[in-house]
């Protein structure tokens, strides 16, 4: 398994959404094994939420809706960067960025790259963890079977 921090951009009844370059390491890994886990940590509260489930790409229309809200430089960057690939020199990336700045001048619409978009994690389990100084933490887990959720308690 590998891990990568992502920016959670949406959460609703259908699942949890984040965006990336489909050609990146995480994109390739999610294509090969469409399962993932999310972990959110709140140090001050000593709380954690873990979510496990299946992954699927969201529609191009959903990806475009988010892509169009991104800053201009981030839109161009999605075209210019081959995320996760070895970069021989920073200059090469800067030349690619310049090329796409010229191709899509500021103020013009930057199209959604075919290699970039969102994923939705559909949860199968959600664990809520509450830390305690005694290390006898509280762990409550919800597990889905079809449309039904069961609740349980895990040993710390």
Q: Name the residues annotated as catalytic.
A: 135
Q: Would you state the structure tokens that stand for residue 97, as one six-digit string? A: 């960025």
DSSP string for residues in the chain = ---------EEETTEEEEEEETTSHHHHHHHHS-EEEEEEEETTTTEEEEEEEEEEEPPHHHHHHHHTTS-HHHHHHHHH--TTS--S-HHHHHHHHHHHHHHS-TTSPPPPPTTEEEEEEEEEEEEEEE--TTS--EEEEEEEETTEEEEEEE--
């Amino acid at each position: 398994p590998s891990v990568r921090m992502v920016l959670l951009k949406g959460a609703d009844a259908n699942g949890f959404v984040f965006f990336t370059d489909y050609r990146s390491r995480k994109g390739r890994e999610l294509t090969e094994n469409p399962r993932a886990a999310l972990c959110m940590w709140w140090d001050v509260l000593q709380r954690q939420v873990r979510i496990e489930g299946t992954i699927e790409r969201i529609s191009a229309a959903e990806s475009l809706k988010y892509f169009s809200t991104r800053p201009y430089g981030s839109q161009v960057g999605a075209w210019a960067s081959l995320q996760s690939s070895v970069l021989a020199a920073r200059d090469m990336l800067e030349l690619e960025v310049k090329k796409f700045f010229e191709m899509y001048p500021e103020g013009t619409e930057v199209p959604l790259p075919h290699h970039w978009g969102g994923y939705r994690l559909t949860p199968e389990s959600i664990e809520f963890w509450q830390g305690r100084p005694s290390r006898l933490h509280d762990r409550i887990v919800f597990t889905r079977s079809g449309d039904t959720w069961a609740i349980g308690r895990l040993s710390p």
